[in-house]
Every structure is written in structure tokens, then in C-alpha cells.
Chain A
Amino acid sequence: MVEETVEEFKNANLYKGVHAVALEEFYTSGHRTCQGCESALVMRDFVKASGPRTVVTGATGCMYVANTSYMTTPWIVPWMHTQLAAGGASAVGMAAGLKALMRKGKIPKEKINVINFSGDLGAGDEGLGGLSGAMQSPYDLLVIVYDNESAANTDIQASGLTTWGAQTTFSPTGSVKRIMHERWKKNLAAMMAIGHPNVKYVATSCATFPPTDYMNKVKKALSIGGPTLIHTIDPCPKGWDYHPRYSHVLGELAIKTGIFADYEIVNGEVRYTYDLRNKKRTPVREYLEKQGRFSHFEDEDYDYVQAKVDEMWDEWELPGILPIKSGLKVKK
């Protein structure tokens, strides 16, 4: 995968294998994240890939609240909190400010990476408009949507990106209604790519599977320029209710079952990082059964999710990405 894109991203210094990954940390030990937190790795790895000449904003969410407890911080690079819906706007504001200051000779000209991270609730629901605004902007910026499928910092409430049927504190199972969360996961990355043709790079990823994939996608996004977006699937031991030891296992399963499509869209060209078209996919039940949030599922629920995942890959216009059924015709 890396080899294919080596020419195109020759200035991105992509990592060829885990042994090539930089050893120094710019987001370091001493954060209040849960044991086994995958999102913490999303933080650690993007700033590792972008290096010290980076400014970061973090939208309200568990990666804000858990990461910085005053007066301490795990951040080595400059970091600032931004409002739940302001992820996109915060990146635009910083990028615009730095650009103006450099052009006017008020600070030295150099490449400073501007990165915002927002959770699924921030970027996918309340901040969707602001994210769209950022994706339309002319600035070099990267928005990372770390998706643990809930308002993890408010004690696990459903978001627009929560998996169908999952128990959350807003969608508890009950004696009359077994399934309370009946919305299918928003297709965020594809929505942004398809809705903003100017955007040169949109990708989905998992921080730890396949190894180096996420960091290399960050490097690609930062090197290609303009507004870019990476949407990561972050298994959450707390909200998904599994032992922290298995975060990696669940991330890998999310991709191998196809419930979370792993791809990148480079200048309008779709490339599957993990191509599950016309391939045998791991049954989604293996993924769901390992999580307490689905402990209320019955066979019909597993079957429903499996059917929807099969539809994503077998019937969508762009399998796993663009949810328009094949055969859709323009009215004569």
C-alpha cells in the first residue's frame, strides 16, 4: 500500500514499517485517559507524524477533558481547547492567523501544521456545519475525527455515529424496548469528500491497524495541502464495555468485518486500504459479541447489522463509501 503511493507522496516521508516510526513523543505520558484508550493513540500518533512544528486544537470531548487536568498537560506541542462545534472553525482561525502573520512578516515564514481533533459528537453532529466550512476553506489544515461512537465524556450518550442498537445512557435497553438507538451510523468521511470537491485528501483509519497506516495517512494529508480530514474508528473500553486489553483486537475487527470501511480518497480517487469488495468478510457478530454495549442483542439484531454491512459492501455505488444503490436512474 505504502509502495503504491511512494511517488505521489514522495515529500511526505511515509513510514515503511513500524521500525521506521519516529521514537520521540510530542504527546506524552501523564494523561487522564482510560486504560487501553485507543483515542489516546490517535492523539499520540498524529502529532508524532506531524512533528514539533504543529499547533493543535482539541474540541470539547473526552480527549479534551481526559487529556488535560489543570495545571498539568501531556502536550509538548502547543494545544488549545475549542468548543464542541468549533473544531473546523478553530483550525481555520489558526491557519488564517499564521498565514497572515507570515505574509506580513510578523513571524518567520515556515510550514506550521494546523491540526484540530474533534470527537464524533462534535464533528459529526453539532460541528458538522463548521467542519463543512473548514473543508471549503483555502487553508492547509487537518481535522481528525476521533470516533469512539459516543459522547464519551458525558458518560456515553448516543451520537449520530454510534453503531445501530448500541446501549448508551441515551439509548438504554429496557423491558419494553430492547433497541433504543435506531439510527444507522453517519457516513462522515464520505459525506465530506463528496460534498467538498476541492478537498484533496479524505481518509478513514484505525490508529493501530494496519500498523503505520494511520500515521502515514496523517503525513499524506499534511503534505498534499488544503483542508483535509481523517476519520478514525476508536474502540472505547469504557463505552463499548470490553477489557482494555482488547482495544487493538476490536479495532482490527471493526475493519475486517467491514462495519467500518478503511479507505482514502486522494484527489477524487478512491483507494481501499482494506478492500472487502467481493471478499469473505469476518462475520460482524464476532465484533459485536466482544462488547458489553451489545450484550442485549438477540439473533435478529446481529442478523440486521450483518445485513446492513453486506448492503454497504455489495449494493452501494461505492462499496462501503457512497450509499446510493446501484441501478438508481435519473428521471427521463
Chain B
Amino acid sequence: MAVKMETKSVFDREELMTGTDAVAEAVKLVDVDVFAAYPIRPYTGVMDRLAKFIANGELDAEYIVADGEHSQFEIGKHASSVGARAFVGSSGTGWLYAMESIGVTATDRLPLVALVGNRALDDPGAFGVEHNDALLVRDLGWLIGWASTAQEALDTTLIAYRVAEDPTVRMPAAVAMDGGYLTHSQHMVRVPTKEAVRDFLPAYDLGNRRMHPDNPVSIAPQVNEDWVMEMRRQNYEASKRSRKVLYSAYEEYNEVFHSEYDNPFIEETNVEDADTVLVGMGSASVVARSVAREMRKEGKKVGFLKIRWYRPYPTDEIRKALSNASNVGIIERNFAMGAPDGGAITMQDLQSALYDAKNHPRVVDFIAGLGGREISKTEVRKMYEMTADKKSPKVSWIGLRE
């Protein structure tokens, strides 16, 4: 889209970028102090670009090529503990290799930001997208946001730092994007100016928890059974508070950068008066939105609901958005072996969100696009039709060779 004249001041330029380029650009704009890299496709493009920034002197940060994802994430965690703004990232099994560190970063309440370039879990070795990697951390105390366009990847990263570092939150944040699709396809992106970003994002301050000789603290001492529950509750409250902070952050982001995010958590396309609604995240949303508009023109009352921030989960937003829908279908780019109804992960969350809602639409699940398989317009149209059809099965695999 063209940059409006009056908004020029907050934008530096428009540039053709992949999703990972856009995140790298955002990490540069927040003037990150430390980032640690370890190679694994497809997230790794972000580190390639950041490394080039260092080589060209465009970014003043400590750049560490770690000895593995576990060390990589620990480096980020401990850099964050001394008051440095840090960035890490990974994909698929690499993300799982870092899992121990991912867990403690959340319980240490350190606002590390990480990119997860969604990738199928080996074996067999596969590079394509699946959301299981990011979804495996959904309950650990990370904020998780899904980007579906390069512009949204840049925006979401800037907002991730703002919310994660908020003194009332102080939680790590993961920005997720579909490997192979968003990580690699290039789109025009509006790049804000450093100054505008500085106005939007205050300096990182860990306050009385910062590791420094001037602030002698002991962080994460051993506890017995008398303490853990109280600490979990504190984290639970922080997660609840993050919802409010996300709203104010997006409000301000819209003002400063003239973006048009109606809601931080969800994005509706003709949902309000739709009988049949598909719900999904990531790059499939792009196709699903276009098909929704197409079918509207044909007079079919369908809509698409995209989830952007998956943790904290937008329970109220989803209940409200689906209050008129009678059929809901979910596009799942993940698997959950042996889960209720044989459905995948996000169906479990969506159904429990609807359980106490006034409106109880019929919910069906579509397992599609696993391992990076394309989700085509034809398939999405089929999903809309099957969702509308009361006789269709609870769970269907779409695009599977029989």
C-alpha cells in the first residue's frame, strides 16, 4: 500500500521483505542489546539479516553464535536479567531443544522476545510449516502472537517488546510465523523510523530485579512446596494483566503508525452477520479471508476469524465474534494425537471458550497443510462448505491423499 503523505514522518521507507527480514528490521529498530543465533530452517533468515546489520555497523549489539539452541536461549535469558534487551529464535526441533530454557525464562518472568518460524517436528526431517512447535509452549507463561503478513510481523515484534517489558507484565513473548510461507515470501513493508519507534517503546527497565552489583538480588532460589503455588498465581495474574496492556499498546500503535488494527487479538472478515465462520491463524488466513470475501459476493453468509495473539487466549473476543454464528470450522496446521474428538490443538481451546458462551455453534475441525502442504483456495472453499453442512464429520483431513 502507498504511504500517505501526512504519515511519511513516522516511516523511513517501503521495502520488499520476507517475514524474517521484517522481524530483523523490528529488532534493529528496538535497538536490541544482545542477540544469539543458532542455525535451523526456516527462522534463521532473521539471524542472517541481523548478522549483516552488525557487519555493516547498522546495529550496535552483542551478537553471539551459540553452541546450540539451549545455550542460545539461556544467553538471551541471562542478558535480559542484567537489563539488556535481547532477541533469540528458532524453529521446530530446535525450538524443542531449547524447551528447558523456554520454560524457565517464563517462570523467571524475563521479557525475552523470540521468533518461532513454525516448522514440522522431525522425524522425518521436514522443513515445512506446522504449528506444534509454538503451541507446545502455549501454557508455560509466554505471550504468543501469530503474524500472517510481513508488515504484521514487523508490527507484532515491536508490540511484543512493548507488552513483554511492561512493568505490570514482564513475560517473554514469542512471535510465530509460518515457515516457508511468511518466512520466505517477500512483500512490501512500511519501515518506521527509529525515532518513532523510540517514542512508542520505552527503554527496557527490569527495575528491582536487575542483576547488577548496585542491585544485589538472589534470583530463583530453591523453594519447597510452601512457595510454588503462590508464585504460579503471581504469573497467572501477570498473564491476565497482559491483556489490558495489549489493548493499550495496539491503540497507541494505531495512533503513531496509522495502522488499522481493530482488535489486538482477533481480526474479523465478514464475521459479524455470518452463519458460517472459519477460524485460523498464520498464513492460511490470507487465503481464507480472500475466499470469504469471494463467497460473500456469491451471497453465502460466511466469514473468517483470524486469531493473532493466541496467549493470552482471546476468550471474550471470540465469544462475542461468534455470538451469531451457527457453524464454526477451524483450520488447524497442527496435530494432537489422541485428543478429544480426534481434533487438533486449537479446537480444544476454542470449544472450551465456547462452552460457557450464550451461543453454541456447531464446531468442526479441519486438519490441513501439515508439513508445509499448501492450503489452496479450493480447499478453503471446501472447508466453508463442509462447515455449513450439518452432516459433515467432526474432524476432516483436507488435502490428504487417500
Q: Is B34 a contact partner of A93 (Cβ separation < 8 A)?
A: yes
Check if B212 is an interface residue, CB within 8 A of chain A: yes
CB distance from A40 to the nearest CB of B (A): 15
| Chain A residues whose C-beta falls within 8 Å of the C-beta of B82 in the assembled complex | 55, 93-94, 97-98, 101
Instruction: Choose one: B34, B36, B70, B216; the contact of A86 (CB below 8 Å).
Output: B70
| Chain A contacts with B in 79-128, Cβ cutoff 8 A | 79-83, 85-86, 88-94, 96-101, 103-104, 106-107, 112
B-contact bits for A207-240, CB 8 A (1 contact / 0 none):
0000000000000000000000000000000000
Instruction: Choose one: A54, A77, A130; the contact of B70 (CB below 8 Å).
Output: A130
Known: A96-B34, A96-B62. A107 touches B83 (CB 8 A): yes
Q: Is B221 a contact partner of A86 (Cβ separation < 8 A)?
A: no
Q: Is B221 a contact partner of A130 (Cβ separation < 8 A)?
A: no
Instruction: Choose one: A54, A68, A80, A99; the contact of B78 (CB below 8 Å).
Output: A80
Q: Is B67 a contact partner of A68 (Cβ separation < 8 A)?
A: no
Q: Number of B interface residues at 8 Å Cβ cutoff, please give it.
A: 44
Q: Is A130 a contact partner of B67 (Cβ separation < 8 A)?
A: yes
Interface size class of A (residues with CB under 8 A): 35 or more
| Chain A residues whose C-beta falls within 8 Å of the C-beta of B36 in the assembled complex | 93
Smallest Cβ-Cβ distance to B213: which chain A residue: A53
Task: Tell me, in angstroms, the Cα distance from A78 to B214 when the chains sit together.
Answer: 9
Instruction: Choose one: A69, A85, A92, A112; the contact of B224 (CB below 8 Å).
Output: A69
Q: Is B218 a contact partner of A79 (Cβ separation < 8 A)?
A: yes
Task: Tell me, in angstroms, the Cα distance from A83 to B31 when the chains sit together.
Answer: 28
Task: Tell me, in angstroms, the Cα distance from A91 to B81 when the chains sit together.
Answer: 11
Check if A132 is an interface residue, CB within 8 A of chain B: yes
Q: Is A78 a contact partner of B66 (Cβ separation < 8 A)?
A: no
Task: Tell me, in angstroms, the Cα distance from A64 to B220 when the chains sit together.
Answer: 10
Most B-side CB within 10 Å, residue of A73, A75, A97: A97
Task: Tell me, in angstroms, the Cα distance from A133 to B33 when the chains sit together.
Answer: 20
| Chain B contacts with A in 280-338, Cβ cutoff 8 A | none
CB distance from A55 to the nearest CB of B (A): 5
- Other CB < 8 Å A-B pairs besides A93-B74, A93-B77, A107-B83, 19 of them? A55-B211, A68-B218, A70-B221, A70-B227, A73-B221, A75-B216, A78-B213, A80-B211, A86-B71, A89-B78, A93-B78, A94-B78, A97-B33, A97-B81, A97-B83, A100-B84, A101-B82, A101-B84, A133-B71
CB distance from B164 to the nearest CB of A (A): 16
Instruction: Choose one: B34, B67, B221; the contact of A81 (CB below 8 Å).
Output: B221
CB distance from B16 to the nearest CB of A (A): 30
